[in-house]
Structure 1
Amino acid sequence: MKWENKKFIDFIQLQRGHDLTREQFIDGPYPVVSSTSIMGYHNQYKADGPGVVIGRSGTLGKAQYINDNYWPHNTTLYVKDYKGNYPRFVYYFLMNFSTDKHGGGSAVPTLNRNTLSSISIRVPDFTTQKRIADILSAYDDLIENNQKQIKLLEEAAMWLYKEWFVKLRFPGHEKTKIEDGVPEGWKLTRVKRMGQVITGKTPSTAIVENYGEDIPFVKIPDMHGVIYPLKTEVKLSERGANTQKNKFLPPKSIMVSCIATVGLVCITHEVCQTNQQINSIVLNDEDHLYYMFFKMKGIKSLLEGVGSNGATMTNVNKTKFENIELLKPENEILKKFNNLVEPFFSNILALSKQNEKLKEARDKLLSKLMSGEIEV
């Protein structure tokens, strides 16, 4: 096994991603990769797969591996030239490489690729690169299989939701009178009548003691691509959380992103708090949980409209959010639906927890492989 020292610029060439607004999306097969996740699909691509992408703006340094051709968004840097290195190894190298300290932005951090170019790094030969990548890929393959199961479970639950509450093929629909498209017994209500709406808040960052490892503190980046945000970038201390006791969320609350990136919806699995970009619903009745989860996921365009006030950043404040109207089916139907899809979500939570353990095991191995502590 041979390792050598070289400059970052001699390892790979990074290129800034390309502008593409959501309004410009044309449905197609090519993923549009943002700084945190796949943000949608387009009918054109800008880079050949396999691809490696890292966050350039907003979320620094998050590495993503894309198998096929893709569109790297302008919030990212992507590898334009691997310079003879193994692409999958490059992905793991960047996962392990601390890029966040090389940001050059202010309020919204920005990764400076010119600064990266001059950094000295240590890299093994191609054969060793492939061996390291193959070992770590075994973990990622398990994670990917679990993700596919999670996706299928969510799609199955979503299908039932649409059958019952969109197509109105709920149990007993044949005997239910429907007037103006509304089944008898269903009522028009508002979000605030379904539960208490809590807008999050950030404890003072000037007081270091407000932060620790006690209470998960959910922010929008934690909500991407998950139903249950099991891992948060930041946690509060008990002291910090208790400075805003009215911001605690119990398990089985619904969190909805309402500023800037609106329409992300997650469910709490433990006591936590959120920042001010998230409005949450502490439901009056837990039997309404999964109906409200899918209902909130279905109002993304409404939230964008409600939150658009001529400013550049979409903002759905608490008053606007809690006064959103929605149709509430009868409690008996909501309870039947909740009981029916509960096993789906229990499995999703179990698979999500398993994935977190796999990621932890992979990351521990990653640092040892990349340092040469473990030889392959």
Structure 2
Amino acid sequence: MKSNYKTLGEHIRLVDERNKGLRVTQLLGLSISKQFIPSVANIIGTDMENYKIIRKNQFACSTMQVRRDKKMPVALLQEVDEAIISQAYPIFEVKNEKELLPEYLMMWFTRSEFDREACFHAVGGVRGSLEWEDFENLQLPIPPPDKQKEIVKEYNVIQNRIALNQQLIQKLEETAQAIYREWFVDFEFPNVTSSGVEMPYKSSGGEMVWCEELGKEIPLGWENERLSSIINIKDGTHNSPSPTENGYPLVTSTHLNLYDIKLTETYNISEEDFIQTNKRSKVYKYDILFSMIGTVGLVNYVLYDEVNFAIKNVGLFKTSERKEIAEYILFYLKSDYMKLYLASNPNGSTQNYVTLGFLRDMPILVPSDKTILKFEEISKKVIETIHLKTKENQKLTELKEFLLSRLATVE
């Protein structure tokens, strides 16, 4: 053991305080991403007095299924002063915060290397649990308190910047969706009246016509079409290429975020399989990916300058071939109408899925060229800003990971 390495057991102790008298009411759960989340457990008829109280700067963890999940869920409570959590979770705290800062310890738990070590020590067959004694015997470097504070401060600066960017991204996304609803659901898009004044279309008396297929009035000149009549729609491979140590990422539905893809969580396939898969469904910048299985309806707008991944069981909307309507289709796929259409999906036995034919048959309202052009001008600016902030967060995340990796060598 290095001179500044200590075992966890030297610096932590278990805490077991029960919710007697039902004094604490806020119930939290623990996610595999090492965060506290509002609990979704059914607690009807449950004796809440037996639940554990967790207080600020205390930790909760799960030692079950560590090997299976390849992660050990552990989180530090900081958002609230106290809460309750299932009695199944061990709760522990730092013995002396003047020697070891809880925030510094949480940084150590966040490292991928920590999860690998926990997984290595996990036992218990398929479930792969980690014994508490083995957890306490795990080691970490403990530099002087001032050094810990310096490291935590540097880490928090990065974390706060990422959080601010996420808030801006969410606000921009909400703004663009609000514009979409106003223009293409309420039909209050900008319209120049006969007097030369720009007014909302429907409320200013814009001419509406009855659409039999939709069962409602739509603006004059708009058409109701099948999505496949205006855009090419494909899907990814249905095969399961063998994983390789080096190669190209294979993206599935679980890897889709709105404006980026969790490429670090994919597995690699060989160049031969990559080429073969791309014969069916080559992805380009400005295409839209759509989850077809599991959590159906997740959408990703591909904004990578160079696309070096393949897709499996993912719908591919070739909006790179129709850039003039790409953003309109993007927000249509995320609309409330789309959610209702997916709810009518007749498929799904052991898990939900949609067929390629179902996606191709989706009805879509096609506005006038002038209205589409105006919407594209606005939405492109919003998405460009979102893309820049997303790329910034990717770089910040890389910097954060680099900082975490350096913890093993601090003195």
TM-score (norm 2): 0.69
Preserved CA contact (<8 Å) 1:48 1:68: no
- 1:146 CA displacement: 1.6
Give secondary structure in 1 for the equivalent of 2:232. strand
Q: Does 1:339 align with 2:397?
A: no
Report matched runs for 1:11-22 at 5 Å: 11=12
State the distance in 1 between where 2:229 and 2:29 align: 38
What per-residue deviation string (whole Å, max 9, x for no partner) do you get for residues 144-182 of structure 1?
A: 222222122212212211211122111222463223232
State the distance in 2 between where 1:71 and 1:14 align: 14
Q: CA RMSD in A?
A: 4.2
Stretches of structure 1 that go unaligned for 5 or more consecutive residues are 16-28
What per-residue deviation string (whole Å, max 9, x for no partner) do you get for residues 83-106 of structure 1?
A: 345443233212213425457899
Q: Does 1:3 align with 2:4?
A: yes
Preserved CA contact (<8 Å) 1:36 1:59: no
What per-residue deviation string (whole Å, max 9, x for no partner) do you get for residues 201-234 of structure 1?
A: 27654363xx635x5533334324x422274433
State the distance in 1 between where 2:36 and 2:181 align: 23
State the distance in 1 between where 2:124 and 2:324 align: 45
Match of 1:227 among 247, 259, 264: 259
Match of 1:122 in 2: 140
Match of 1:178 in 2: 208
Preserved CA contact (<8 Å) 1:60 1:111: no
What per-residue deviation string (whole Å, max 9, x for no partner) do you get for residues 75-130 of structure 1?
A: xx977323345443233212213425457899xx9663438636522241682544
Q: Does 1:303 align with 2:342?
A: yes
- 1:262 CA displacement: 2.1
Instruction: Give the residue type in structure 1 aligned to 2:342.
Output: L
Instruction: Give the residue type in structure 2 aligned to 1:3.
Output: N
Match of 1:139 among 135, 155, 158: 158
Q: Does 1:193 align with 2:229?
A: yes
Match of 2:115 in 1: 99
Q: Does 1:158 align with 2:174?
A: no
Give secondary structure in 1 for the equivalent of 2:365. strand
Match of 1:18 in 2: none
State the distance in 1 between where 2:13 and 2:322 align: 54
- How many residues were matched structurally? 351
Report matched runs for 1:317-328 at 5 Å: 317-328=355-366
- 1:267 CA displacement: 0.6
Give secondary structure in 1 for the equivalent of 2:180. helix
Match of 1:363 in 2: 401
Identity of aligned residues (%): 18
Match of 2:317 in 1: 281
Report matched runs for 1:38-53 at 5 Å: none
State the distance in 1 between where 2:36 and 2:251 align: 20
State the distance in 1 between where 2:140 and 2:377 align: 54
Give secondary structure in 2 for the equivalent of 1:256. strand
State the distance in 1 between where 2:8 and 2:346 align: 46
State the distance in 2 between where 1:94 and 1:67 align: 15
What per-residue deviation string (whole Å, max 9, x for no partner) do you get for residues 343-366 of structure 1?
A: 111111111111111221222222
Preserved CA contact (<8 Å) 2:243 2:270: no
What per-residue deviation string (whole Å, max 9, x for no partner) do you get for residues 225-248 of structure 1?
A: x42227443355543310222221
Match of 1:112 in 2: 129
Match of 1:243 among 276, 279, 302: 276
The change in CA–CA distance for 1:31 and 1:342 in structure 2 (over 3 A counts) is farther
State the distance in 1 between where 2:328 and 2:299 align: 12
State the distance in 2 between where 1:111 and 1:192 align: 47
- 1:341 CA displacement: 1.5
Between 252-261 and 317-326, the greater mean CA deviation after superposition: 317-326
What per-residue deviation string (whole Å, max 9, x for no partner) do you get for residues 33-57 of structure 1?
A: 6445999967999966667778967
Preserved CA contact (<8 Å) 1:13 1:79: yes
Instruction: Give the residue type in structure 2 aligned to 1:155.
Output: E
Match of 1:267 among 301, 307, 316: 301
Match of 1:80 in 2: 91
Preserved CA contact (<8 Å) 1:307 1:317: no
Instruction: Give the residue type in structure 2 aligned to 1:343.
Output: K
The change in CA–CA distance for 1:303 and 1:238 in structure 2 (over 3 A counts) is same
